[in-house]
Amino acid sequence: MTKISEMPAVGRHFMSNLELTVPTNDSWTNPVPANERRVSIVSTAAVSRRGDKPFSWLAKDSRTFHKTDRDLVMTHVAVEFDRSAWQQDLNTIIPLDRLEEMAADGEISSVADEHYSFMGAADPVTMEKSARAAAAKMKQEGVNTVFLIPI
């Protein structure tokens, strides 16, 4: 396992000193059975549809993209993660095709129409309002399961 203590100096210092918001209560929602799962992806890769407003460096807001959108660009501020994988295959960070295949095979019920992207460099505390707004939209379209994928 790659431990923070074994990371190179700059990254180790950053990871060690990051202020983490620890919840006062553990949240829990009982999952629905697999064949009832309608899944929406939440990514912190700061991706958006080409032409959408780019994310600011510490953006609190989110962007929405449709399950059929493939023409996405990334405006994430950080450079510590690999971009070459998603350039080759969007599914490496946003596995829409894989979820569609799993829905077709009956492993889940369906893939949501809308999916969401946030700026992973920002403090999640500042994103609460946007996250709850996204949750409301998800519930309106019958989503019950959220797949959270960082970059």
Partner 1 sequence: MCGLAHYFESEGLSTILVGFVREHIEVIRPPRSLFLDFPMGRGMGKPNDPEFQKKVIRAAFELLEASSGPIIDDFPEIIAVKEGRMGYALPPELVLSVDDIGDVDVVLSEVRNEMEALRPDYDTAIAARGRTTVGASGLAIEELAPFVVSFLDGEIPKSPRKGMPAIPLLKLVVEDLEAYYTETRTHRDSIDDLELMGEWFWEKTKAGRLLLLLEAVSVASENKVMLQIVEMSLMAPRFWSEGPLPGTSAAGW
Least distance from C-beta 10 to partner 1, angstroms? 5
In the stretch 111-150, what mask flags binding to partner 1 with x, by CB under 8 A? Answer: -------x-x--xxx-xx--xx-xxx-xx---xxxxxxxx
Comparing CA positions, the residue from 68, 74, 88 lying closest to residue 120 is 74
Rule CB under 8 A: say whether 66 interacts with partner 1. Answer: no
Kindly state whether residue 49 participates in binding partner 1, applying the rule CB under 8 A.
no
Is residue 89 within the footprint of partner 1 (CB under 8 A)? yes
Is the Cβ–Cβ distance between 65 and 117 less than 8 Å? yes
Give residue for tokens 């971009």: 83
Per rule CB under 8 A, is residue 56 in the interface with partner 1? yes
The phi, psi pair for 134, rounded to 5°, reads: -65, -40
How far is it, in rounded angstroms, from Cα 49 to Cα 17? Answer: 33
Q: Closest separation between CB of residue 58 and partner 1, Å?
A: 11
Residue 81 pairs with which residues in a beta bridge? none
Considering only residues 27, 35, 68, 140, which one is a binding residue for partner 1 as defined by CB under 8 A? 27
Q: Is 68 in the site for partner 1 (CB under 8 A)?
A: no
Contact 50, 73 (CB under 8 A): yes
Interface residue with partner 1, options 60, 65, 67, 108 (CB under 8 A): 108
- Establish if 36 lies at the interface with partner 1 (CB under 8 A): no
φ/ψ region of 97 (left if φ > 0, alpha if ψ in -120 to 50, else beta) reads alpha
> Quick one: which of 59, 109, 111, 151 contacts partner 1 (CB under 8 A)?
151
Among 101, 104, 141, 142, binds partner 1 (CB under 8 A): 101
Q: Which two tokens stand for residue 118?
A: 């946030």
